[in-house]
Structure 1
Amino acid sequence: MARVNLRTAFMGGAVSAITAQRVFTNRVSETTAFSRSLDGLHEALDAAEISPVVDRLQGRRNVLTFYGVGGIGKTTLSQELERRLLAEADAEDRDDVVSVRIDVSEDGACDIEGLLLRLRAGLGQLGSRWTAFDLALASYWARAHPGEPLQEFLDASPAIRRASRSVGLNEQIASTIGQMVPSGAGGLVGLAHHAALATYRAIRERVREGRLLSECELFAELVEADADYETLSYFPYLLAWDLERQPRRGRQNRRPRVCVFLDTFEALGDRTDRAVERFVQRCVFLMPNVLFVITGRNRIDWADSATSGELDFTGPECWPNLHFSNSTAEPRQHLVGYLSDSDADSYLREAVTRSQEPAMPADVRERIIAGGQGLPLYLDLSVSHFVELLARDGQPSVDDFGGSFTAVATRSIRDLSREERDLVRTAALIDRVDADLLLAGQPSLPDGCVARFLRRPFLTHDDAYELPYALHLALRHAISEADRALPDGWSDHDRSRVAARLLRHLGERLGERAGRAAMTQALESGLKLSGTYGVFDDWMVRAAQRLVEAGQWTDLGAGLTADAAGGPEYRAIRTAIQGVLLRRTGHASEAVTVLGRADTGLSPDGLTAQLVRLHRAHALRNEGDYNGAADIYRGLLGGEFDAAARYWLSDYDYLNGRFAVALETLRGRRGRDAADEGERLRLIGHIWRVNARFGDAAATYVKAITVARDEGLASAEAKALTNLAQTACWSGNTATVSEAADQARELLDVIPNSVELVKIRSAEAVASAMTGDHAAAWSAVADTRRLTNDIGYPGGHNLADVAAILLGVLSGDHDGARRVRSQLDERTRTSGGNTYWVPIVTSWIDGVDAAAGHHPPVEWVDGPESSLGRWARVTADR
């Protein structure tokens, strides 16, 4: 199903309305609001004639929002609501209450794959059967992650690992697949990639035959759709559908209660666009039977008209309770205000006690309350200051308290030893830390000092993350400001120097075998440091390139800002990533323009400049400018990307008929890995094929097929099978062509590649012509041109021209063949590649001698007489 149709299907009936934005401040007790929201949601679900999961025209009433300034206690409130939810369930001996907590500001937290798997792991507490979601996930995973077992992905992130292992998520999904599609059991979990593909095909065929979840609307469309993030972002609908079918429990026959807590939601608004928020909003909208509790600094604007076009589901019809006019119905939006004076005094009285009596004198409490004006974080810091003064055997006085939040932060820093002051400054530079990272920032400090610092109450701890410690964001900003007023405060240069050490350590932590999730998170943190403090490290270039090579270019946008503090290397890598995104989404010309100025001010030998030039060359090649790309590749020889440059220069030599040069280069190197080796073998096979050494070409492609199969590289296998069909067609071996084409198409059905489909159809055109079925051949030529135009692949017309000329020669229409040859000659000269086809077809029309005199000359492997003689016999023998 096409992407736009998927979007339409899920958005049916959603209409935006123009509204005025107003902030409402009338409040009710937050805990009461939470209880009313949860009860109200489930009462509405029970009363609904048609479930809102199925009826997507119904407005959603499943979002409870608490918003307010930083330091107001929103995270604490969210955690307390979760604690009460689970405590009440435990007291009632209920096993049908589930909570999932996600801090969206954490690196990688809103990666749509990770988000969905954390939701699925949470729901797994209710039982192991989530049939619709698990089967769709298997279909997606086999295509989006060829050769990567699900368990490896689950283990890559500490947060996902802990959630998934607590319920045995991997085993649950495998069990679902095994029961529903026995022939494909285990394919997702860790068997060879072909088993995963077989699982997908089995699921797809049963869906097409109407034998699998036909009652789940849009399940078939999601299984058939492209395996990308856009499709995946609709999978929450399947989780909601499965949740509706979970058995009711207890004497009261109650439906399960699920709450998802999304904290620090304002982090989504800090991104360069709202694409990630769009994915998250889809999740919320498509799971109307789950209560989402969102905490952040800003009210949610989903019911406003201004978001139309940026988000899918907007307006009061979609979110009636989020509209400004709603002031009573729960769940809704609540502004989290400051604590009242009496609540603040109660907090201070209970925070520090002596003999069960308040240790803090009344006049000190009054001073703190007057200064803090009800800000909980201000009270926390004041309590820490009071305790520190007591520890020094001092008697805190009124004069030790009060003042602005920055003043309180300043006192908190002064309370620390010099070593701990440097540690808190270090922790303020980055989102999260652990002992090793702090020691990397302050290498002269002993381990014991760091261990004592990590026990400080102003640090939060969550062992779901690889870097488990964090300062509150408001405190991080206040510390940076307050530090400037201290006698030993850091200068901007000090911050940059420590940030550089942190950045270097992030790269060292990765190691050579780092997984995609770890690499993505490290790169996101590194880019934030780089953009804020003007530091840079070459590991970020290598990490970005590895992610691009792994096909994970959609993950690279996180952490990028237009911060002026970022140096030229940061600005260049930011632009390089933008160029990759443009090129991979079909905007090669824009990528060429953007990348053309990205390396200004950089050392030409630096890794970042090389990265920019490499991807500009790729963009030029995609645009059809092989000559311009080759010039850049030559300039990259001897540098970081030497291997890639040599490969693409060999490809350029091949495209321009310098076969001996290309062969010498290719034979002198081995692939860096299986994927690279497969590319090397295929290019060697291309050279043999266009020199009419079809046996050598076929043998080389078979080797490439074996390498791909052994390593589970489905995309590479499909390419090599296509090439085998392109070789066998010249001998009229229709059986081999048909078998290779069928196998390739089967893989391409799983991992789409439209260019390979063009090549397959052109091979079938040649095979039909060689066997005398000219009607079928002309039909295949027309299909080749149509597919070529559909995807904008200029090389497809070259292949169609060659097949058309072959048909002209075999049918005796030499004049028609010459007309097509003229078009082929003009097209290949303009592009700077594939020029060898003109002498090849000339050998059919005018003979070997005329073909050998073609300009520009072609360096045939065995000389023109032998190579072109073999090509001439292709038609002479018919």
Structure 2
Amino acid sequence: MSGTASRVAAQQVFTNRSDETAAFARSLDELHASLDAAAISPVADRVQGRRNVLTFYGVGGIGKTTLSHELERRFLAEAEAEGRNDVVSVRVDLSEEGAHDIETLLLRLRAGLGRLGSHWPAFDLALASYWARAHPGEPLQEFLDASPMVRRASRSAGLSEQISQNIGALVPEVGGLAGLAQRAALLVYRAIRERVRAGQLLAECELFAELIEADADYESLSFFPYLLAWDLDRQAGRGTRPKVCVFLDTFEFIDGRVDRTAERFLQRCVYLMPNVLFVLTGRNRVTWADSAVQGELDFTGPECWPNLHHSNTSSEPRQHLVGYLSESDAHSYLCEALTRDGDPVMPADVRERIVSGGQGLPLYLDLSVSHYAELLARGRRPGVGDFGGSFTAVATRSIRDLPREERDLVRTAALIDRVDADLLRAGQPSLPEGLIARFLRRPFLTHDDAYDLPHSLHLALRTAVRGADQGLPDGWSDRDRTDVAARLLRRLGERLGESAGRAATAQALALGLRVADSYGVFDDWLARAAQRLVAAGQWTEIGAGLTADAAGVPEYRAIRAAIQGVQLRRSGHARRAVEVLDGADAGIAPTSLTAQLVRLHLAHALRNHGDYNRAAEYYRGLLSGEFASAARYWLADYDYLNGRFATALAALEHRPERDAADEGERLRLIGHIWRVNARFDKATDAYTRAVALARTEGLVAAEAKALANLAQTTCWSGTVDAVTEAAVRGKELLDLVPNPVELVKIRSAESVGHAVAGDRTAALAALADTRELADGIGYRGGHNLADVAAVLISKLAGDLDEARRVRARLDDRTRASGGNTYWVPIMTTWIEGVDAAAAREPAVDWVDGSAPALARWARIGEGARRG
């Protein structure tokens, strides 16, 4: 233990918790007996109460994690002794970075189950369909390799090969896992969906078709455990029922938080997999069976979880309070932990003193054993006076006995969830490499090489270190902790780099935000990482385990608000997004990157909500900062919305583009300008180039937008087939990347197309749909598009009074919002002619002059009348 040659043998000791191990064995037996006896599998009968959760809870340091590991070890050892190869376990520590991410959790479950065999068709095909839509252009293999825990689990099971085999066998045209990386996402989704709709694929799996058709988001994904359970049931139908245990440790990191989204997703997983035993260990009793939590989670009350209710004291699996070790168990532990020639090293009086002070707390005993070994390594003969006292006293003693440099290292390790030599060196840059390497071999540090940061202190010890430190002469002040935490945070950002993948970015962000929240430090890389995830369209929950208000770190609150605002805006709730973002940068320096991030997304939300004037104010305020390029683009858009077309075109021509996504946005805005100037040839050219660029780069969302715009252009041609073609292609892509705003645009284009072609019935139907969709998502701009179609329809019917009423309504709305004001003179050409339109205010700066542009629009109105 000390690294010094010695006849003393140290070993890990598990004190036999007979009640807990017996409860685990009974839980397995009773769960499988009920599954075998069930007339209808509880997987299919989703109303049955669930009896698949075994809970061990108790205070920190009581040995819950050790118990969990020992139960898993015995579970697998017994299976090996019996020669069974249909027994698997999956372990998830919920304190890990990214452990709350439903994608990561499901892939770890699938990898674990893959050790039972390769046949998991329902889940694998649904995953392929989901991944194609949720991550267009991102290879699944890269995601599997990005997370250390997923990588280790997937490689041990050959997960990539299994998924390829299932996809290739059932839908050969997809091309297996490689197809997810190399082929267009639309083709993957289409191939699977068409087979499902034709009833040719897994029709007997009740929820399969519904989940294939559902939106590709976390809400839908959280129901995929049903598919795993269904596939597992099929495994049972081919012979002996497999035994599967999922061990969820440190459950306190997920339960009872103010935002219970992560717990809700995980609870769905447990409920939908009733043929799997979930073993939960944490500090708190699980409250799922309590009626008081109804409404916060999906499945609550004793009907759903009969064995978890506090009234159940006998049926297994159930909830168990993990107690302190008995005196005899504690003595046995100390006798076995350090031995010489098979005999206990610790004298009886020392053992008695430790047992008396520890009161059966296993972590207390661990620290006392480490302290004893350290004293032996120094050549001392430990005595009774060296032991006893409170847990904090033991922690203090353990720290005090370390050399001064190592005391600083243990304080550094206590500031953050996980460390390695590089991070410790960042925290203590003056210390030599050799000393850090020796420190990492200390027994109070746990090691798991599956992580990029493989070392950690026990959570209870991390908490105790700060209190213990106060009694030492060289103890750190709050300022010392803050300074070291800032160095750790800075180094995390440097390690991340600009080219890091999504999974690595999300994990680093979660770890960094916990440091920021705990010690009142911050670094701009956190804001950049958050924006990187936003730009990639990823909604991985960040800040897991942080306090709800994070009172000491306004930057954290601001980033959280920015993420929430983006989620709301992109799901069509622009008004709510404005409410969340407005004022979220309070208490932050206006020039800080975090404040700019909030204002950028507030401007986007205001624009979606139809408040173009206020959005423009925020964009102007960002012109000198990191988001200046985005601000200039949206100000050009603001010029376009207000009819300053020449100004907007000039800005776009001289705007440097950073990537393909930027160039696509530029082409689309150029197309908008030509479209409202009735130069449909130039608009079509710009949009067609944007479609081609997006398709080449795999930017499905951008391609869907460009196709919606193409439909808005072709609708003026009077050829319904042209608008229909673009609309159909756009809607197909919006199956992959749902965007309700673009659906409003497409439906309004169809209304205009039918109006121009003279089909009043079809035009009215599309018009009604446009308004309904716009109202459903709070998109006021959708009513502007609907009004344009309404005026054409009224003119077609010869009802000019109604056309004037709609125009007046649109005039009021666009003047108030500060955008789309050019539609009023366009409509006027249809109602009263070009001269009247040219005389109307506000004036419009048409690209090639007022007369030619208005004449082009007037001809469209005349065509509509003739039709």
TM-score by length of 1: 0.94
Letter in 1 for 2:461: L
CA contact (8 A) 1:125 1:167 kept: yes
Post-superposition CA distance 1:658-684 (Å, at most 9, x none) = 111111111112432222221111011
- Give the match for residue 159 of structure 2: 169
Alpha carbons of structure 1 residues 876 and 229: separation in structure 2 relative to 1, 3 Å:
same
CA distance in 2, matches of 1:658, 1:567: 42
- Give the match for residue 615 of structure 2: 629
CA distance in 2, matches of 1:858, 1:870: 15
Using the TM superposition, give the Cα deviation of residue 587 of structure 1 relative to its aligned residue in structure 2, in angstroms.
Answer: 4.5
CA distance in 2, matches of 1:189, 1:353: 58
CA distance in 2, matches of 1:783, 1:231: 26
CA contact (8 A) 1:560 1:574 kept: no
Letter in 1 for 2:267: Q
1:342 corresponds, among 309, 328, 331, to 328
CA distance in 2, matches of 1:869, 1:565: 60
- Give the match for residue 756 of structure 1: 742
SS in 1 for 2:736: coil
- Give the match for residue 13 of structure 1: none
Alpha carbons of structure 1 residues 563 and 705: separation in structure 2 relative to 1, 3 Å:
closer
Using the TM superposition, give the Cα deviation of residue 628 of structure 1 relative to its aligned residue in structure 2, in angstroms.
Answer: 0.6
CA contact (8 A) 2:573 2:778 kept: no
- Give the match for residue 368 of structure 2: 382
- Give the match for residue 105 of structure 1: 95
Using the TM superposition, give the Cα deviation of residue 784 of structure 1 relative to its aligned residue in structure 2, in angstroms.
Answer: 2.2
2:486 corresponds, among 464, 486, 500, to 500
- Give the match for residue 231 of structure 2: 242
CA contact (8 A) 1:248 1:256 kept: no
CA distance in 1, matches of 2:794, 2:567: 42
Count residues in correspondence.
848
- Give the match for residue 209 of structure 2: 220
Letter in 2 for 1:467: L
- Give the match for residue 772 of structure 1: 758
Alpha carbons of structure 1 residues 36 and 185: separation in structure 2 relative to 1, 3 Å:
same
CA contact (8 A) 2:140 2:177 kept: no
Alpha carbons of structure 1 residues 538 and 485: separation in structure 2 relative to 1, 3 Å:
same
CA distance in 1, matches of 2:371, 2:506: 38
SS in 1 for 2:47: coil
Letter in 1 for 2:52: N
Using the TM superposition, give the Cα deviation of residue 627 of structure 1 relative to its aligned residue in structure 2, in angstroms.
Answer: 0.4
- Give the match for residue 647 of structure 1: 633
Alpha carbons of structure 1 residues 587 and 743: separation in structure 2 relative to 1, 3 Å:
closer
* Structure 1 segment 119-518 matched on structure 2, within 5 A: 119-186=109-176, 189-194=179-184, 196-246=185-235, 253-269=239-255, 271-518=257-504
CA contact (8 A) 2:179 2:188 kept: no
Letter in 1 for 2:203: S
- Deviates most, 564-573 or 403-412: 564-573
Alpha carbons of structure 1 residues 593 and 722: separation in structure 2 relative to 1, 3 Å:
closer
Identity percentage of aligned residues: 73
CA contact (8 A) 1:765 1:778 kept: yes
Letter in 1 for 2:836: A
- Give the match for residue 45 of structure 2: 55
SS in 2 for 1:246: helix
CA distance in 2, matches of 1:775, 1:47: 60
CA contact (8 A) 2:723 2:753 kept: yes
Post-superposition CA distance 1:742-796 (Å, at most 9, x none) = 1111112232222222222222222223333333323322332233233332222
CA distance in 1, matches of 2:574, 2:725: 35
CA distance in 2, matches of 1:853, 1:77: 83
SS in 1 for 2:54: strand
SS in 1 for 2:215: coil
Using the TM superposition, give the Cα deviation of residue 248 of structure 1 relative to its aligned residue in structure 2, in angstroms.
Answer: 6.2
CA contact (8 A) 1:531 1:562 kept: no
CA distance in 2, matches of 1:513, 1:163: 25
CA contact (8 A) 2:570 2:739 kept: no
SS in 1 for 2:91: strand
1:94 corresponds, among 80, 84, 88, to 84
CA contact (8 A) 1:307 1:314 kept: yes
Post-superposition CA distance 1:255-304 (Å, at most 9, x none) = 11111000000111363322211111111111111111111111111111
CA contact (8 A) 2:708 2:745 kept: yes
SS in 1 for 2:254: helix
Using the TM superposition, give the Cα deviation of residue 189 of structure 1 relative to its aligned residue in structure 2, in angstroms.
Answer: 4.7
CA distance in 2, matches of 1:72, 1:804: 71
Alpha carbons of structure 1 residues 552 and 777: separation in structure 2 relative to 1, 3 Å:
same
- Deviates most, 37-46 or 371-380: 37-46
- Give the match for residue 540 of structure 1: 526
2:708 corresponds, among 711, 716, 722, to 722
Using the TM superposition, give the Cα deviation of residue 819 of structure 1 relative to its aligned residue in structure 2, in angstroms.
Answer: 2.4
- Give the match for residue 839 of structure 1: 825
Using the TM superposition, give the Cα deviation of residue 93 of structure 1 relative to its aligned residue in structure 2, in angstroms.
Answer: 2.0
CA distance in 2, matches of 1:327, 1:812: 79
* Structure 1 segment 657-736 matched on structure 2, within 5 A: 657-736=643-722
Post-superposition CA distance 1:216-264 (Å, at most 9, x none) = 1122211111111111111111100100101567xxx521111100000
CA distance in 2, matches of 1:335, 1:827: 63
- Give the match for residue 9 of structure 1: none
- Give the match for residue 21 of structure 1: none
Alpha carbons of structure 1 residues 308 and 592: separation in structure 2 relative to 1, 3 Å:
same
- Give the match for residue 16 of structure 1: none
CA distance in 1, matches of 2:233, 2:165: 20
SS in 2 for 1:294: strand
Post-superposition CA distance 1:40-76 (Å, at most 9, x none) = 2111111111111111222211111111111111111
CA contact (8 A) 1:626 1:832 kept: yes
Alpha carbons of structure 1 residues 587 and 781: separation in structure 2 relative to 1, 3 Å:
closer
CA distance in 2, matches of 1:528, 1:386: 34
CA contact (8 A) 2:675 2:713 kept: yes
Using the TM superposition, give the Cα deviation of residue 594 of structure 1 relative to its aligned residue in structure 2, in angstroms.
Answer: 4.0
Matched, 1:37 2:27: yes
CA distance in 2, matches of 1:856, 1:407: 78
Alpha carbons of structure 1 residues 555 and 112: separation in structure 2 relative to 1, 3 Å:
same
Ranges in structure 2 where 5+ consecutive residues have no aligned partner = 1-16
SS in 1 for 2:352: helix
* Structure 1 segment 777-796 matched on structure 2, within 5 A: 777-796=763-782
Alpha carbons of structure 1 residues 269 and 778: separation in structure 2 relative to 1, 3 Å:
closer
SS in 2 for 1:334: strand
CA distance in 1, matches of 2:460, 2:203: 51
Using the TM superposition, give the Cα deviation of residue 187 of structure 1 relative to its aligned residue in structure 2, in angstroms.
Answer: 6.5
Using the TM superposition, give the Cα deviation of residue 585 of structure 1 relative to its aligned residue in structure 2, in angstroms.
Answer: 5.0
- Deviates most, 773-782 or 861-870: 773-782
CA contact (8 A) 2:684 2:713 kept: yes
Letter in 2 for 1:802: V
CA contact (8 A) 2:574 2:778 kept: no
TM-score by length of 2: 0.95
SS in 2 for 1:523: helix
CA distance in 1, matches of 2:585, 2:735: 39
1:613 corresponds, among 599, 610, 623, to 599
CA distance in 2, matches of 1:743, 1:549: 24
CA distance in 2, matches of 1:79, 1:845: 79
- Deviates most, 79-88 or 557-566: 557-566
CA distance in 2, matches of 1:493, 1:296: 32
- Deviates most, 278-287 or 178-187: 178-187
Post-superposition CA distance 1:68-127 (Å, at most 9, x none) = 111111111111111111112222221101010000111110111100010000001111
CA contact (8 A) 2:132 2:180 kept: no
Alpha carbons of structure 1 residues 566 and 162: separation in structure 2 relative to 1, 3 Å:
same
